[in-house]
Amino acid sequence: MLQYCPDFISGSIVAEKLLDRMRRVLRVGHYSYRTEQVYLEWVRRFIRFHRLRHPETMGKREVEAFLTHLAVDRRVSPSTQNQALNAVLFLFRRVLEVELPWLDDVVRAKERRRLPVVLSQSEVRHLLGNLPPPHDLIGGLLYGSGLRISEALRLRVKDADIARRELIVRDGKGGKDRATVLADASCRGLELQIERALAIGETDRRQQRGGVLLPNALAKKYPNARFEPAWQWVFPAARLSRDPRTGLIRRHHILDQSVQRAVREAARRVGIRKPVSCHALRHSFATHLLESGADIRTIQKLLGHADVRTTMIYTKTNGLTADQPLSLRLSLFSDRRRCTCVPELPQVTRRRHRALTVKPKGSYGRVCPQRCTPLT
């Protein structure tokens, strides 16, 4: 039986007031709702770890102790530890306005480079063929357009240009917009899904209920825009729900958990013996494009990566394989010595052709990517 503890209750109240301040600062900075949830949860764990002490009474030592606990006792991944660090630093710098010294005594989680899960084209066909609608169309967009699951679910009618075979991703990761391709196989299904979404939006308009959420202050500037066809979700939810930020009753899009669950069940029915997730379809999109001869910079732009090294990790280009296109393999090296096949290459490719640092196992020399003449 719990006993009355004034210190515990007062500490909890102070923590909640602090979290309200942090929530307000996050929303002023236009952070996403998911980032807001994650940051607040990490700050709660940080306060509980130090027995509900107020962060104003803590500093460098307490932050280092918490991060070391995550790495040593909880054995979290490096990305999870960095996420916790970013949340705590946001609390001190942006909310409490306290600048922490350099955290040099933190035990860092050991970083392990892992290759992404990639499906073969046959596995992708069987997987998409066993998904129920509209999850099959969502999976087709993940694989055919390289979208993240959140980007596919947040598509609005105005962002799909079927005539140009183009999708516009609004407010993607990092708050960036980008254009990507729309696969021919998804066009007809997307047209039918848009018709269903517009029918749901028209029903909401006639009943004057629901409507979709609008970004920023558009709802105040255009009060009836929530019923306009252009702003409707392509994948609307079946029921109305309360928005956690505004408290308004609106029609949200399909939840990503339902899509993840459908993909896992379809992979189990098909018999794919890999840890299949929605993101595996995005990995497969990039890898299959690369295998078909697409340039690494093009794939980087379609995926929305700021750094080409991120694209190389996604597409398993950490090492060099013989089935990669010549343009990609040449871009990985900087040695300017040339080999005997240069005169046979087109002028544009010739300028990029290098005698590479490829050293086969058991060999003392280097070889050209065309496997033409050993280089000395």
Annotated catalytic residue 279: yes
Reduce the DSSP state of residue 364 to 3 states and report it: coil
Which entry of 135, 250, 305, 354 is annotated as an active-site residue?
Answer: 305
Which entry of 205, 279, 288, 316 is annotated as an active-site residue?
Answer: 279
Q: How far apart are CA 39 and CA 84, in angstroms?
A: 7
Helices and strands per DSSP (H, E), number in the chain:
15, 5
Which entry of 173, 196, 301, 366 is annotated as an active-site residue?
Answer: 173
Those residues whose C-beta lies under 8 Å from the C-beta of residue 254, and which sit 6 or more positions away, are 134, 138, 153, 235, 236, 237
Q: How far apart are CA 99 and CA 243, in angstroms?
A: 34
Beta strands in 133-266, from DSSP E residues, in sequence order: 160-161, 166-169, 178-181, 236-242, 249-253
Those residues whose C-beta lies under 8 Å from the C-beta of residue 62, and which sit 6 or more positions away, are 50, 53
Annotated catalytic residue 274: no
Annotated catalytic residue 61: no
Reduce the DSSP state of residue 168 to 3 states and report it: strand
Packing angle of the helix pair 135-145, 184-207 (nearest 10 deg)? 130
Those residues whose C-beta lies under 8 Å from the C-beta of residue 362, and which sit 6 or more positions away, are none
| Backbone dihedral angles phi then psi of residue 239, each to the nearest 5 degrees | -125, 160
Q: How far apart are CA 18 and CA 41, in angstroms?
A: 13
Which entry of 314, 329, 353, 354 is annotated as an active-site residue?
Answer: 314
Q: Nearest CA to 238 among 134, 375, 370?
A: 134
Annotated catalytic residue 69: no
Which entry of 154, 156, 250, 282 is annotated as an active-site residue?
Answer: 282
Annotated catalytic residue 27: no
Token digits of residue 207: 């009943």
Annotated catalytic residue 173: yes
DSSP state of 94: I
Which entry of 39, 135, 143, 148 is annotated as an active-site residue?
Answer: 148
Judge whether 352 and 330 are in contact, CB under 8 Å: yes
Those residues whose C-beta lies under 8 Å from the C-beta of residue 182, and which sit 6 or more positions away, are 144, 145, 160, 161, 162, 165, 166, 167, 190
Catalytic (active-site) positions: 148, 173, 279, 282, 305, 314
